[in-house]
Chains A and B, each alone.
Chain A
Amino acid sequence: MNGKRKSYLKSWMISSPALILIGLIVVFPILYTFYISLTNMNTYHWFNYDIIGLKNYARAVTVFDSGFLEALGNTILWTAVNMAMQLVIAFVIANFLNVPGLRLRNVYKTILMFPWAMPGYVSILLWKTGMFNSQFGLLTQWMEQLSGQMIRWLQNDVSAFICCTVVNLWLALPFMIMIMDGGLKSIDRSYYESATLDGAGPIRQAVSITVPCLKPVIGPSVMITLFTTFKQFDVIYLMTQQVGAQTGAHIHTVITYAYENAFITNNYGYSSAISVMIFLMLIVFAQLTGRRKEADA
């Protein structure tokens, strides 16, 4: 018994540096965020804040023009649009990549991986300045030559949303293409051969063979991408709302909304309440999608 206890102690000892580090940097701030969310902490009440209970939560959920519900709606729209487009486009490209007899397949594949290999924030800034900037943006110049008018891409909400979606697709598609490409390779060719013999056309084959066979293979990666898209901060923040360089569009997702309330308008208590709610949503998501299965073993 004593030996067993000693071995337990040793296990905890060896893992303690990691657990202390994670406790300090990840767990404690989350608990502390929860505590701040119950207070009215802001620039004027930096040290002398009061506990105000659940008022911050009530303000976010019940006051309609607080902006939180709008941000939540935007986030859901953003996630749905991005996921749908990613899946469809990646499916088409991956299928085309696997057409027999395509000689330059590996060249194309390597080039298509570039957006994934580039540092994300650099790509976003290059898109922002190089493509959409109202003076030297390439797309602005092209549009000007085509239609004769100057377009401020990031100025209004709808076009900024579309631009952000384009950039996000550009960033995220390589991973999805790679996953789908791997999935397609795992499907037995003989299914297609017998389907061809039975007279099924290419579309029928894609719907009845490729999609059902692909689903279990790409499932986990799609779930991860869903989470990443929901949590996406960089694209929207860097494209439209950097400090001192706001472009005029007001599209907030829940994460940029929480960030703005903490670091721009300094409503720390309110922002923390938003953060806690986002975290709870992520936990519910994670439980629903059964990611906890991975914990055993």
Chain B
Amino acid sequence: MTARKFVRKAVKHTALNAFFIVCCFLALLPILYALSVSFDAKGSLLSSSFSFIPEEATLKHYIAVFTEEPVLQWFGNTMLLTAATVVLAMCCAVPAAYVFSRRRFPGRSTVLRSLLLLHSFPSILSMFAIYKLMSTMGMINTHIGLIVIYAGTMGVFAMLNMKGYFDAIPLEIEEAGKIDGCTDFRIVTGIVMPLARPSLIVTMVMIVNFVWNEYIFSINFLTGSDRMTLASGLYSLQATETSGSWPVFAAASLVVSFPVLVIFFLSQKYMVSGLTAGGVKG
């Protein structure tokens, strides 16, 4: 009886593991294929015998990415846009979020309710209006224009997410600081901000991700390959149905994804607490 039970358990676990191996394979399939194509020297992608491990490995597609395409320039542009957006959005949103969490003043709940509505509004729907606005201000085809757009779009999320987290920090901690004679400024920088660290990190990671992955505004608002971001550059590089180099595109995709993957897995431990406490997700 016990032997049969043991066998049944073993069969069940083998089946389960097989199921998960298939799932993981499917989850990695496009990535694995891109990886194999990008290292493949022979260009066996058109041949009928295809395997995931290239017969002959090469780095030439990766070298092509960095030498033939202005990837480094795009990388620099993206870094600049990302850093400036994070700074602008956080400098605006964090103090505002703190005020909306701690103080009570007329108009506060109206603004909060409107922010929640705005948060569900996809910015792509008002893109044409933004385009007209930016062209009146002469900010089409400039990085400053995009920075302002990105910071404003993510500002709603940043404010709501940070406000939710500040709400969860007990007021007593601040009062204790006040009794000890701290100034308001010192309370915020010395007590509240360190406590809000998980949420600060998550909010920043979300903004970085947003800018890093945004292509639709940058392909419509920027022209010329020297201004492009990684996302819009990659978009322009992609192989179409008949033209373009798919191995180079595959290599470029993986190069672009790598920093995002690193940030994702590094920040994962903060993700749950930093987002759930804020009450506004993705």
Residues of A within 8 A of B (CB): 7-8, 11-12, 14-19, 21-22, 24-30, 32-33, 36, 93, 96-97, 99, 101-102, 104, 108, 111-123, 125-131, 133-136, 138, 141, 145, 170, 174-175, 182, 220-221, 224, 227-228, 231, 233-234, 237, 244-245, 247, 255, 258-259, 262-263, 268, 271-272, 275, 278-279, 282-283, 285-286, 291-292, 294-297
Residues of A within 8 A of B92 (CB): 17-18, 21
Tell me the complex Cα distance, A99–B98, Å: 44
Binary interface profile of B, 211-231, with partner A (CB < 8 Å = 1, else 0)? 011011000100000000001
Task: List 8 A–B pairs whose Cβ atoms lie within 8 Å, in order of A's numbering.
Answer: A16-B96, A17-B92, A30-B126, A117-B261, A128-B238, A129-B249, A263-B127, A294-B279
Tell me the complex Cα distance, A104–B13, Å: 11
Closest 6 CB pairs of A and B: A25-B152, A15-B96, A18-B96, A29-B126, A29-B129, A117-B264
- Contact, CB under 8 Å: A7 / B103: yes
Q: Please, which residue of chain B has its CB at the minimum distance from the CB of A233?
A: B124
Q: Which residues of chain B from 249 to 271 have any CB-CB distance to chain A below 8 Å in the complex?
A: 249-250, 253, 256-257, 260-261, 264-265, 268
Q: Given A115-B27, A125-B253, A286–B16 Cβ distance below 8 Å? A: no
- Contact, CB under 8 Å: A22 / B156: yes
Besides A21-B155, A263-B220, 20 other A-B contacts (C-beta < 8 A): A7-B103, A17-B92, A19-B96, A22-B156, A24-B148, A25-B130, A29-B130, A30-B126, A36-B129, A112-B24, A122-B257, A123-B30, A127-B30, A170-B27, A224-B282, A245-B240, A263-B127, A278-B122, A286-B117, A297-B167
Residues of A within 8 A of B148 (CB): 21, 24-25
Binary interface profile of B, 92-114, with partner A (CB < 8 Å = 1, else 0)? 11011111100101111101111
Q: Which residues of chain B from 1 to 50 have any CB-CB distance to chain A below 8 Å in the complex?
A: 9, 13, 16-17, 19-20, 23-24, 26-31, 33-34, 37, 45-46, 48, 50
Per the CB 8 Å criterion, the residue count for chain B at the interface is 97
Residues of A within 8 A of B27 (CB): 111-112, 114-115, 170, 174
Tell me the complex Cα distance, A294–B113, Å: 9
Q: Please, which residue of chain B has its CB at the minimum distance from the CB of A46?
A: B132
Q: Given A18-B92, A27-B118, A102–B213 Cβ distance below 8 Å? A: no
Contact of B16 among A12, A102, A119, A259 (CB under 8 A): A102
